[in-house]
């Protein structure tokens, strides 16, 4: 459909290029531009003393989610926004959707999911922990003249859980997901055990049961090494699994051993559910990823994805003046501005102010016997793949125009959109209202 039917035209931004070494605040990238503070490894003595003071209170296996970490290791983005890393190569998933061969389609889904992990700060940085009820929305203007939409909300605080929704309506592509990071202190390392999963659906490709073709994708875990001694290093570790109705791949993210091995290596084999092997995936998740056809004798590896040549498509976000007080970029603005200046005293003070206010709200809810309910996502039924889904039913067989209108009714996403009074109503109540209208014969949306 023509994009001019909807507001929100903007410029598509390219991503960062190959890795670069950044050591201090005077560092520059090519062209003389100052380095992004997310790429600077902070090693000042005051910062290290703060970190050591926190570590002195911990024992191996302790839960870091309840500890206030020093701001010098924080990225200038909330986790709700960082999740979009896995969505910043839409051209790959569009190519997969258009492929008529099921196995070839699965290979391209593997390529798409693996393409997002290298999009991260060059230094060891942790995204900001979203506060309860925080939300983030964005969109993409795609090369094929379509638009993609993303909505995320922090639906739980302990344990922290983020729920998200992504859709390219005109191509019948939908992603729902939850991210549940569980942080642990391991001595000289910290681990983020990434529970939760993503569910990708091709809405107009039906399986043998007449349901949209579905892929369930899990995440590797993340490790920050060298927090007590040695050079700090981020590693991805353990396993990432992708399952479709016919195929499965278990990609191992290998961590370097004390004596042997290498950093950032991956390995996995694409199989069908009977165990027949088709392709081997190898290489490095932040360098070049290779694939080899196991059905051909003496087959050579070919490049599946080169992180140095493929530029991510950054999400487009409404201006701060249009955002609500609980939207990620507005909520954390004073913190991220201070982080950009490397003013960690101000960043710490502003961050603690946000966190202290959240504690007051939680205490007040407990005193009043009030339970928190998300505004955009509702708990799922037990037979679903995820804990939470977007509250509005967006039928797979609805027209693209109707699907887009339904998405834009959920929350402001495009420039010029306004909040409505309905936005503040808890998601489960909005869902009940919509279901009541449906059963009485009234249309669910205008």
Task: Name which of 101-105, 220-224, 239-243, 366-370 the model is least confident about.
Answer: 220-224
Would 96 be classed as within a structural domain?
yes
Inter-CA distances, 404 with 114, 145, 410, Å: 28, 14, 10
pLDDT at 68: 60
63 three-state secondary structure = strand
Based on the number of CB atoms within 10 Å of its own CB, is 415 exposed (0-12), middle (13-18) or buried (19 or more)? middle
DSSP β-ladder status, 13-14 and 74-78: unpaired
Give one DSSP letter per residue of 237-272, joined into a string: EEEEEEE-SSEEEEEEEEPPPSSS--TTEEEEEEEE
Beta bridge partners of 139: 149, 316
- Please tell me the total number of residues recorded for the chain in this structure: 446
pLDDT of residue 240: 97
Q: Is 161 a member of any domain?
A: yes
Handedness of CA 78, 83, 85, 89 (dihedral sign): negative
Q: Does residue 241 lie within any of the structural domains?
A: no
CB atoms within 10 A of CB 178: 24
Model pTM? 0.86
The region of weakest confidence among 81-85, 130-134, 223-227, 261-265 is 223-227
Q: How many domains does the chain have?
A: 1
Q: Which of 294, 280, 204, 274 is nearest to 249 (CA)?
A: 280
CA 318 to centroid of chain Cα atoms: 18
Domain membership of residue 246 (yes or no) is no
The continuous run of DSSP H or E covering 310 comes out as none
pLDDT tens readout for residues 7-43 = 444 434 333 333 333 333 344 444 455 667 665 655 5
Distance separating alpha carbons of residues 170 and 148, to the nearest angstrom: 9
- Is 442 inside a domain boundary? no
| DSSP letter string, 344-373 | HHHHHHHHHHHHHHHHHHHHHHHHHTPPP-
Q: How confident is the model at residue 383 (pLDDT cuts 50, 70, 90)?
A: confident
Parent domain of 109 = 3-224+308-322
Of 180 and 9, more confident: 180
Higher pLDDT, 185 or 160: 160
- In the predicted model, what is the mean pLDDT of the chain? 86
Counting Cβ atoms within 10 Å, is residue 152 exposed (0-12), middle (13-18) or buried (19+)? buried
Write down the pLDDT at residue 260. Answer: 65
> Helices (DSSP H) in 312-443: which residue ranges?
328-331, 333-341, 344-368, 400-410, 427-439
- Does 191 map to a domain? yes
- Match 């998933």 to its residue by tokens: 93
| Gap between the Cα atoms of 148 and 138, Å rounded | 9
In a domain, 154, yes or no: yes
Residue range 37-64: average pLDDT? Answer: 57
246 token code pair: 């016919």
CB 268 within 8 A of CB 280: yes
What is the CB neighbour count within 10 angstroms for residue 217?
A: 21
- Which residue did the predictor score with more confidence, 191 or 351? 351
pLDDT at 227 over 90: no
CB count in 10 Å sphere of residue 4: 7
Query: Does residue 50 fall inside a structural domain?
Result: yes
């Amino acid at each position: 459909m023509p994009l001019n039917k909807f507001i929100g035209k903007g410029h598509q931004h390219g991503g960062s290029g190959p890795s670069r070494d950044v050591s201090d605040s005077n560092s520059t990238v090519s062209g003389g531009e100052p380095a992004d503070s997310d790429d600077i490894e902070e090693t000042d003595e005051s910062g290290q003393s703060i970190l050591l003071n926190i570590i002195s209170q911990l024992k191996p296996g302790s839960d870091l989610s309840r500890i206030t970490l020093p701001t010098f290791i924080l990225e200038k983005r909330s986790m709700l926004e960082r999740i979009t890393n896995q969505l910043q190569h839409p051209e790959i998933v569009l190519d997969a959707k258009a492929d008529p061969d099921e196995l070839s389609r699965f290979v391209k889904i593997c390529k798409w999911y693996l393409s997002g992990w290298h999009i991260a700060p060059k230094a060891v940085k942790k995204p900001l922990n979203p506060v309860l009820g925080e939300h983030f929305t964005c969109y993409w203007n795609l090369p094929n003249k379509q638009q993609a939409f993303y909505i995320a909300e922090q639906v739980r605080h302990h344990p922290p859980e983020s729920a998200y929704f992504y859709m390219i309506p005109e191509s019948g592509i939908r992603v729902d997901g939850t991210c549940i990071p569980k942080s642990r202190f391991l001595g000289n390392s910290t681990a983020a055990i990434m529970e939760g999963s993503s569910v990708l659906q091709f809405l107009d490709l039906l399986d043998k049961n007449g349901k949209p073709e579905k892929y369930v994708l899990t995440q590797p875990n993340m490790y920050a090494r060298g927090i007590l001694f040695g050079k700090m290093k981020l590693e991805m570790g353990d396993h990432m699994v992708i399952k479709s109705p016919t195929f499965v791949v278990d990609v191992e993210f290998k961590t370097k051993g004390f004596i042997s091995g290498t950093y950032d290596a991956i390995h996995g084999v694409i199989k069908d559910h009977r165990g027949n092997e088709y392709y081997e995936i190898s290489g490095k998740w932040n360098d070049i990823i290779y694939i080899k056809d196991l059905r051909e004798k003496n087959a050579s590896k070919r490049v599946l994805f080169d992180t140095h040549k493929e530029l991510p498509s950054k999400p487009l976000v409404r201006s701060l003046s249009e955002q609500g007080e609980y939207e990620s970029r507005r909520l954390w603005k004073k913190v991220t501005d201070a982080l950009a200046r490397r003013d960690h005293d101000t960043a710490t003070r502003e961050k603690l102010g946000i966190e202290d206010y959240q504690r007051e709200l939680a205490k007040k809810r407990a005193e009043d016997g009030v339970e928190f309910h998300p505004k955009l996502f509702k708990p799922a039924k037990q037979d679903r793949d995820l804990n939470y889904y977007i509250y509005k039913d967006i039928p797979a067989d609805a027209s693209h125009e109707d699907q887009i209108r339904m998405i834009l009714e959920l929350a402001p996403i495009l420039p010029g959109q306004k909040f409505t009074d309905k936005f503040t109503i808890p998601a489960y109540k909005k869902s009940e209202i919509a279901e009541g209208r449906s059963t009485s014969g009234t249309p669910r949306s205008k």
